[in-house]
Amino acid sequence: MMNVIWSTMILIGLITAAFTGNLESVSAGIPDSAKDAVELLVVMLGVISMWSGFLSIAEESGLTGQLAAKMQPFIRFLFPNLPKDHPAVSHICANFTANLLGLGWACMPTGIAAMKDLRSLEESRGNVSSVASDEMCTFLLLNISSLQLIPMNMIAYRSQYGSPNPLAVVGPSLFATLITTLTAIILCKWFTRKSRPNIS
């Protein structure tokens, strides 16, 4: 589906450029865009590699487990039906930590692992339906809303494109993501208010 969307957008752009006499500008811009994309990829590769390494070290050293223990009240509030010592808890905590640091790409592995754990939990409960559970929906919404204390990805983008003050985005980003996260929490609690009682 995404291939169709992107192909359609490119085709519309080329047709518009041809009719407006800007086809030459488009042709000249393609190599420049490709160069910018490769340079940005190198910058982001360094940032994501560094923080992915930090997250791996944190998991191996037991720091993730300690963080999960500290975040337990918050996790219990968001996921009341999630067993306390379930493997999904540590992955959810690691994912939330990466999101707090604004590392959307780096949090993907822990996010996928958490979803797999939550799916396994549903199967252990005898639920083989393809419908997402309350826990899975809650985790997805919170992951998308993504409260960010330090938007590292955005800072890296702004640095790459020559912003005189890459950190200027921190305040607005914190405010915006705080609103989206609070909204996500309210929606999750509203739609799951009649969910199953605690099983742990």
**Greatest CA separation found in the chain?**
67
Q: Is the pTM of this model over 0.85?
A: no
The closest alpha carbon to 30, from 43, 46, 17, belongs to 17
How far from each other are the two terminal CA atoms of the chain, in whole angstroms?
41
User: Model confidence over 115-169: pLDDT tens digits?
Assistant: 999 998 888 888 777 788 888 988 988 888 877 777 777 777 787 778 888 888 8
Q: Return the amino acid letter for 52.
A: S
Q: Tell me, what's the pLDDT at 200?
A: 46
User: Model confidence over 25-79: pLDDT tens digits?
Assistant: 777 777 877 777 787 778 777 766 776 677 778 778 877 667 767 787 888 888 8
